[in-house]
Copies of this chain bind each other. A is one copy, B any other.
Amino acid sequence: MSWEANVRKVTPYTAGEQPKGQGVIKLNTNESPYPPAPGVKRVLHEYDADLLRRYPDAGTEPLRSELAAYYDVEKERVFVGVGSDDVLAMAFLTFFNHPSLPILFPDITYSFYDVWAELFRIPYQVQALDDHFRIKEEDYLKPNGGVIIPNPNAPTGELAPAAMFERILRANPDAVVIVDEAYIDFGGESCLRLTDRYENLLVVRTFSKSRALAGLRIGYAFGSPKLISCLQDAKYSFNSYTMNSVTLSAGVEAVRDDAYFREITDKVVATRERSKKELAALGFSFTDSKSNFIFSSHEKYSAKELFEALREHNIYVRHWDKPRIDNYLRISIGTDEEMDALFAFLREYITARGN
Contact = CB atoms under 8 A, between A and B. Distances in A.
A311 B8 CA distance: 44
A173 B1 CA distance: 7
A158 interface: no
A95 B2 CA distance: 11
A282 interface: no
Contact of A18 (B45, B57, B118, B243): B57
Interface stretch (A48-56, A295-303, A320-328): A48-56
Interface stretch (A125-133, A179-187, A232-240, A272-280): A232-240
B241 A244 contact: no
A145 B15 contact: no
A213 interface: yes
Interface string A164-183: 00000000011110000000
Interface string A212-250: 111111000000001000100110111111111111000
A242 B86 contact: yes
- For A85, A200, A238, which residue has the most chain B Cβ atoms within 10 angstroms? A238
Given A32-B53, A215-B55, A119 B234 contact: yes
A13 B49 contact: no
A251 to B, nearest CB: 11
A58 interface: yes
A116 interface: yes
Interface string A1-28: 1111111101111010010000000100
Given A86-B242, A238-B119, A29 B41 contact: no
A65 interface: no
Interface string A102-133: 00000000000001101100000000000000
